[in-house]
Amino acid sequence: MYSVVNTAVLRGMDSVVVQVEADVCDGLPAFEMVGIPSSEVREAKERVRAALRSLGYRLAPKRVTVNLCPADIPKRGTGFDLPIALAVLSAYGLLESEQLSRTLFAGEVTLSGSLKGIRGILPMAAAAGRAGFSQVVIPEENGPEAGIVKNITILTAGSLRQVIGWLRAEASLKKPDIIIEERDPEKVEVDFAQIRGQQLLKKACEVAAAGRHNLLMSGPPGAGKTMAARAMAGILPALTEEEQLELARIYSVSGRYQEREGILTQRPFRNPHYSITRTALIGGGRIPQIGEISLAHNGVLFLDELTEFARPVLEQLRQPLEEREVRLVRLGGTYIYPADFMLVAAMNPCCCGFYPDRNRCSCTSASIRQHLNKISRPFLDRLDLAVEAPRVTVDELKEPGDGEASAVIRRRVEEAQKLQRVRYREEAFSYNSQIPAKLLSGYVRLTPGAKTVLTQSYDRLALSARSYHRLMRVARTVADLSGGGDVGEAHMMEALLYRSLGDELWREMP
């Protein structure tokens, strides 16, 4: 007999519907699988055999052929276990149900017949909805993940026996419970009010958050750089519904959805260690996997101790910072992963951390040059803001923590981003940092004074064309934080102030 059960397979960030065809006929006993199955898919036949035995099914010794269609797409993952088991039972004539043709099945089956969660169930459920299926049956573990897809019914089961009982109308399957914890804006892990001094640094963090700009902080140890970076997470507006779904898809594909479960409205804050490899940061591998920069999509990627990262690893960030996506080309196809993140980096200006204070810095010119050369000028050129975090004085430490709270700063950031969303409502971007160079003249209107400052700075600081455009974008954000309108001379001067660190370190280095 012949039977068909529907499932899906991951293909980068998307999913493709796959038909699991099973044919049982007379002949030498065998269990063949075709359709480019990977090793874990081929192993499904042993898991399915054992699971069916544990449920009391004694299959007659026949020739079983399972085809995964379309046959030109590689099949990976353990989600084929459940549809293969159902297809084999149906082909043996042990299972008949009209639900098989209207339902997409996915899930790993253990030897005892229980169902285990799989990676990437969210895009699979979305693909089922687009393909016209009425429902999806998945393991209970994946219920909250797939439940956020609204155009299809999600049903969960804990075992293969439950699924078979449901198909025979002898049992029912339950819908998943979706729990979303709304973030209390007043509760943050690190509040800007706790940071003593560092007025310029805190203002730079506000500008970076308002326009989604990249930020570099440099200063001696203990100046508050890491604290400021963590405080930035508390001034970022909550994710929109569209951003939540996009980010949930990324974490589903990576198999880390549990890290986002219950906090879908919060923007991600990723802080990888400087020993991270290129593949772990960017993504890739023989079978392409998602990296840290995609997990930081629509959020913050914080690189602490920037100069300790391997230079080849940092150089790989240059293209994603420009294109806001990762494009991995493999023999089997091209995989594109979103990577629209805000880069926040912190570093010491020298090995001891106290340069240019020669009263405390004992580093030689050669060692300082070697330290700074770990970061290339093209990489630095892609950072919109670069500010210094000087040593905090004892008087500043004695001051009470009565500075501006993160909640107050966040309200200004939200207002600035509202202006940007209205301004760019007809465009494919939403933030000042994303304005294409060809549209800058239209969206960044400069007063005569601002034009003069920009022209003089371009020659005096020997700016590149990229730096010139980034300076205009930062000035646009500074103006938005002041209520919007044209970019004035004061706005441009403030934007220049946020680039002084890079020019000082890399141009005036001894």
| Residue 92 vs residues 1, 47, 454: alpha-carbon distances, Å | 6, 18, 77
Distance CA 13, CA 88 (A): 30
pLDDT at 508: 41
Classify residue 161: in a domain, yes or no: yes
Residues 207 and 93 in one domain: no
Residues 162 and 199 in one domain: no
pLDDT of 348 above 70: yes
* Domain of residue 106, residue span: 2-167
343 burial (CB, 10 Å; 0-12 / 13-18 / 19+) is buried
User: In the chain, pLDDT over 90 holds for what percent of residues?
Assistant: 48
Contacts with 337 (C-beta within 8 Å, 6 or more apart), sequence order: 12, 13, 250, 283, 290, 291, 294, 325, 326, 328
pLDDT of 370 above 90: no
**Average pLDDT value over all residues in the chain:** 87
pLDDT at 472: 93
> Where is average pLDDT lowest: 312-326, 455-469, 479-493?
455-469
Classify residue 314: in a domain, yes or no: yes
Of 126, 151, 167, the one marking the end of a domain is 167
pLDDT of 502 above 80: no
Of 389, 404, 424, the one marking the end of a domain is 424
Classify residue 416: in a domain, yes or no: yes
Question: Helix count (H) and strand count (E) of the chain?
Answer: 23, 18
Of 395, 424, 453, the one marking the end of a domain is 424
pLDDT at 185: 56
pLDDT of 7 above 50: yes
Classify residue 205: in a domain, yes or no: yes
Distance CA 13, CA 280 (A): 17
Q: Which of 409, 432, 429 is nearest to 480 (CA)?
A: 432
Classify residue 286: in a domain, yes or no: yes
pLDDT tier, 510 (very low <50, low <70, confident <90, very high otherwise)? very low
pLDDT of 81 above 60: yes
Residues 411 and 358 in one domain: yes
Residues 340 and 398 in one domain: yes
468 burial (CB, 10 Å; 0-12 / 13-18 / 19+) is middle
Residues 111 and 198 in one domain: no
pLDDT at 181: 57
Residues 208 and 76 in one domain: no
> Where is average pLDDT lowest: 150-154, 267-271, 292-296, 488-492?
150-154
Residues 134 and 199 in one domain: no
pLDDT of 183 above 80: no
Distance CA 75, CA 124 (A): 13
Overall residue count recorded for the chain in this entry: 510
pLDDT of 371 above 80: yes
Looking at residue 336, which CATH number applies to its domain?
3.40.50.300
Looking at residue 67, which CATH number applies to its domain?
3.30.230.10
Classify residue 386: in a domain, yes or no: yes
Residues 12 and 65 in one domain: yes
pLDDT of 139 above 60: yes
Residues 118 and 152 in one domain: yes
Residues 202 and 154 in one domain: no
pLDDT at 509: 43
Residues 148 and 249 in one domain: no
pLDDT tier, 503 (very low <50, low <70, confident <90, very high otherwise)? low
pLDDT tier, 179 (very low <50, low <70, confident <90, very high otherwise)? low
pLDDT tier, 51 (very low <50, low <70, confident <90, very high otherwise)? very high
pLDDT of 344 above 90: yes
Domain count across the chain: 2
Range 467-494 average pLDDT: 91
Classify residue 500: in a domain, yes or no: no
> Where is average pLDDT lowest: 86-95, 214-223, 227-236, 456-465?
456-465
DSSP 177: P
pLDDT tier, 507 (very low <50, low <70, confident <90, very high otherwise)? very low
Residues 141 and 197 in one domain: no
Classify residue 510: in a domain, yes or no: no
pLDDT at 400: 64
pLDDT tens, residue by residue, 184-211:
556 677 888 888 878 889 999 999 999 9
